[in-house]
Amino acid sequence: MKKLGMVGGVAWPSTIDYYKAICRLSLAHHQARLADGPAPMPEMTIESLNLNKSYGLRGGSLADDASWMRYDQYFREALQRIEASGADVALIASNTPHNRYASIIQGIRIPVLSIFEAVARHCATIGITEMLILATAPTMDASAFTDVLARFGIKAHAPASPGERAKIVALIAELQTERDDDAARRIRDVVDASFPQTGTVRAVCLACTELPLALPSIERETDIVVGDIRYINTTMVHAKAAFAALLERSDA
C-alpha cells in the first residue's frame, strides 16, 4: 500500500473519523486475505494543525486572493512536511480549505485528493442532480464547490437565508468541541426551511467534516436516508477515495 499524508486538526474530531475510516477500510480489505499477524495498515503522516490559528489566518472575500495568502501558506507548509516524510498521496481532512485548494497545492508534487471532486463524483454516481449544501461560511459563500458539482451535472445551493446559514455555522462550532445538543433535529429544521419538500428524496450534503458527527448512524456510511432526506457524508466519501488511491498500482 502507498503511504498517505493527511493535513488534520481542522477540526480534530473529523481527523479521528478519517483515520478510523482508513484503518477500518484496511482491516476489511485485508481480512479477506491471509496475512501473518495483525492486519496490514497503510503508513500515514498526519500533520495536525491548530484550528485557532487557521481560523485567525482566514482572509476576506474568497475572490480576494491576497488576503488568504497566510492561510494558504499554513496549509501548504503542512503538505510540504508531509511530502518530505515520504507520503505518496495526500489529502486535507476538511472541506473549508478546499475553497483555497488551487492556491494551497501550488508546488506540491504528490497528488492531493480534492474532497469537492470526490464528493461530486460520488453524488453523480448515485444519481443526484440537485443538492443543498450545509457547510462553514466560506464553503457556503463561495462558488468553488458548486462549480465542481456543476461539472458533474449537479445543481447545488446553500441555504438562501443568512439566518439559516448562521444556524449551521453555530452548530459546527459546537460539534468541534464535541457538543451536539439535538444536532440532528437542528439540521433537519434548516433543511426544511431551505429546501422545500418535493415529494421525492432531497439530497443534503454535509460539506463540513464535522457535520456528520451530528448523525451517529452515518459514521461508517457515505450516505444515509432519514425520512425524505439523503445525507451525504463528505468525510467518508473522501476517506474511501483516499483508501482506493492507496491501493492503486500496489501489490497489497
Q: From the list 2, 7, 14, 42, which residue makes contact with a second copy (rule: CB under 8 A)?
A: 42
Q: Which helix (H) or strand (E) holds 223?
A: strand 223-226
Q: From the list 176, 180, 188, 224, which residue makes contact with a second copy (rule: CB under 8 A)?
A: 176
Nearest distance, CB of residue 104 and a second copy, angstroms: 17
Give the whole-angstrom CA distance, residue 23 versus residue 186: 31
Binding segment (CB under 8 A) for a second copy, from list 84-92, 148-156, 159-167, 212-220: 84-92
Q: Does 33 help bind a second copy (rule: CB under 8 A)?
A: no
Binding to a second copy, residues 177-206 (CB under 8 A) = 177-178
Give the whole-angstrom CA distance, residue 45 versus residue 154: 34
Cβ-based nearer residue to a second copy, 108 or 226: 108
Nearest distance, CB of residue 19 and a second copy, angstroms: 7
Give the whole-angstrom CA distance, residue 191 versus residue 133: 9
Cβ-based nearer residue to a second copy, 149 or 211: 211
Phi first, then psi: give them for residue 221, nearest 5 degrees. Answer: -115, 150
CA distances from 114 to 138, 147, 244 (A): 16, 13, 14
Task: Name residue 130's beta-bridge partners.
Answer: 155
Q: From the list 81, 151, 155, 185, which residue makes contact with a second copy (rule: CB under 8 A)?
A: 81
Binding segment (CB under 8 A) for a second copy, from list 5-13, 99-107, 140-148, 242-250: 5-13
Q: Which residues contact 15 (CB under 8 A, 6 or more apart)?
A: 6, 8, 9, 46, 48, 93
Residues at the interface with a second copy (CB under 8 A): 9, 11-12, 15-16, 19-20, 23-24, 27, 35-53, 55-56, 81, 84-86, 173, 176-178
